Structure 1
């Protein structure tokens, strides 16, 4: 006899679903957990269904659940995603900290796994989860090392804190902006951002040239609700945040926009924006050189330098393009500030060691490229903005 149990939880945990069979129990009652329904079919397979939080939605199916059994045995599990193809390869863990890939197969029913279960929970996830606490711990550690003060730039739909930090000096006018984790399941992009920021902070602390000229705003985790709730793509406000940088309908994007408005209202000049993501393969989505942005060749120069530094290990894939009216972060920087916006995408299945290696070189070469760019270059094609008199 199959018995279903619907678990209702507060904002502090995801609205998780669990189900119990005669000897097997499935649960997603933990942060980032995702499981919508399950059944035992006539072939003895446990069929688990994972639904997108909203429709339409990009096909980025997220799954994260635990399973245990009153007796040790092997069970067959099928994961289904409401008609979407599984994007992430399954990983398993006994402690939610150490994760290993597991063999799988796919067919018209979904993704099939064989799991060895016991009375201790076995966890299965689309990617190794990077939870909100990881960001809090990283911010605290980095703040102690580099003596900056994290601050609350805004609150999410559910009232969760959106933390940020700046590196700034009062006389600096040029600002560089970094944003991460707009899309909850894109954890390889989060791995890249942590490594990028580690190198960025260490390099600028040891060499004062960059911070004697540029200010920096960093918002590492813009979508804490989506992370906590185990969303595929959206915020708790039912919006893809990387499609909201035109209407700013969500408190998460509005918080950043308001801070940027404060910069420009105070006479500051935003010179570049970059956000970190994951997709099927490594790629940098950039603004074409023939767009009215300044300086025209800066990102091409940076990526060429990155390619030189990582030759033999990494192939830089630069894909210029525009997306007017879609509310994409990089397009917002090109349209509003007439400067480069870049989307730094990491392949879903890239090894973390390689991702960190590339990200560290990306940070160092970007710093060097920005240092070598004269201040007046950021105004060449921006006819509405005047270059600073000094």
Structure 2
């Protein structure tokens, strides 16, 4: 596996948007009988909540040392998205020092903390985090207690949070919320839909394949709200909108880095469709696309920097007008310009490649930086929505 650079975040980075705050209040502090990972006179570490990380714990002379483990994998090493989330019951009036040990992986996410069970979050100040020269060990200095403190790589979201966001959006903009299948763990798979069955054009946007990639989820939310708020009525009359807000609910609930509970990266399963969630998604999308022109297909993710994966812009594998227009809009509206990485691997099981081969659409994977400022997250979502509307407006008078 190639070495991935760490993404050490400084300052407060991505602020939690109003949409996120609406849906991050469902974490319940572990009951007193919850088994501790480790315990000293000063702190007790537990992981008894939805979205907690995979951890072990030992006590060193410096304090607790938490291992940061990936979930099980059946297809080789997991891409380094080293999620951690735990609760520290701090009993001391002194600051608590602990370490995160990533073993063969590297520190990527600057820690967030919450004192109220996950309703409000803020990042630890930069001076409270030090990372070893090889990036395998991160030392955290937690605020003094007493009190419960949630510590996580990103503000923890749960499937229930995403479901509530979906219901709020559906209510405000009169979308239909439908169940299109079940995950491996039996969780419902939901989609938001709008537009008449007679519509000739269709737009797809999805997110939530990789649990820690929350800046991408936030950009998706901005995209969805902007699109529904500003799409002209006459264009809506001939357009279907399909939004999939959480395509890997099992991974999110289990605190996984990348995979579902089947040990599979769902964004490598779109060709094989071995996992129930992806099999259901592909069947649902194909059914909705049947007889319509797919104007845009976007999958929102996060990585170390904001960028876009696209089919080759210089080739005509499909109608490339939308990707070219979006690149022009991003270059004009986002500073620095997002990198565009073009290519097509017909054997790769990503949503982008599946959509190109199945729907004949130049699908895009939109990646937000892990630590993208809120202003950048908003710009990406808004610009993407406006570019989709421009593409739909240009298509509305054309015969298919």
Q: Smaller-chain TM-score range?
A: 0.7 to 0.9
- The residue that corresponds to 1:242 in the other structure is 267
- The residue that corresponds to 1:274 in the other structure is 298
Q: 2:348 aligns with which of 300, 305, 326?
A: 326
- The residue that corresponds to 1:4 in the other structure is none
Q: 2:165 aligns with which of 132, 135, 138?
A: 138
- The residue that corresponds to 1:84 in the other structure is 105
Say what the alpha-carbon RMSD is for the aligned residues. Answer: 2.3
- The residue that corresponds to 2:94 in the other structure is 73
- Decide whether the 8 Å contact of 1:32 with 1:64 is kept in 2: yes
Q: Which has the higher contact order (CA 8 A, sep 6+)?
A: 2
- Any idea what the Cα deviations from partners look like across 1:344-364, whole Å, max 9, x if unmatched? 110001122331133112211
Segment of structure 1 superposing worse, 157-166 or 292-301? 292-301
- Any idea what the Cα deviations from partners look like across 1:219-254, whole Å, max 9, x if unmatched? 111111111110011011211010001010011111
Per the alignment, in what secondary structure is the counterpart of residue 319 of structure 1?
A: strand
User: Which consecutive unaligned segments of at least 5 residues does structure 2 have?
Assistant: 1-27
> After superposition, where does 1:233-312 map in structure 2 within 5 Å?
233-264=258-289, 266-308=290-332, 310=333
Q: 2:179 aligns with which of 152, 158, 162?
A: 152
Q: How many angstroms apart in 1 are the aligned matches of 2:148 and 2:176?
A: 39
- Decide whether the 8 Å contact of 2:203 with 2:295 is kept in 1: yes
Tell me, yes or no, if structure 1 residue 316 matches structure 2 residue 338.
yes
- Decide whether the 8 Å contact of 2:38 with 2:64 is kept in 1: no
User: Which consecutive unaligned segments of at least 5 residues does structure 1 have?
Assistant: 1-11, 377-386
Larger Rg: 1
Per the alignment, in what secondary structure is the counterpart of residue 59 of structure 1?
A: coil
Q: 1:97 aligns with which of 116, 119, 125?
A: 119
Q: How many angstroms apart in 1 are the aligned matches of 2:272 and 2:253?
A: 25
What is the CA distance between 1:317 and its match in structure 2?
2.4
Q: TM-score, normalised by structure 2?
A: 0.84
Q: How many angstroms apart in 1 are the aligned matches of 2:175 and 2:66?
A: 45
Aligned residues: 360
What is the CA distance between 1:149 and its match in structure 2?
1.9
What is the CA distance between 1:290 and its match in structure 2?
4.3
What is the CA distance between 1:21 and its match in structure 2?
2.1
Q: How many angstroms apart in 1 are the aligned matches of 2:137 and 2:397?
A: 54
Segment of structure 1 superposing worse, 177-186 or 136-145? 136-145
Tell me, yes or no, if structure 1 residue 47 matches structure 2 residue 65.
yes
What is the CA distance between 1:288 and its match in structure 2?
0.7
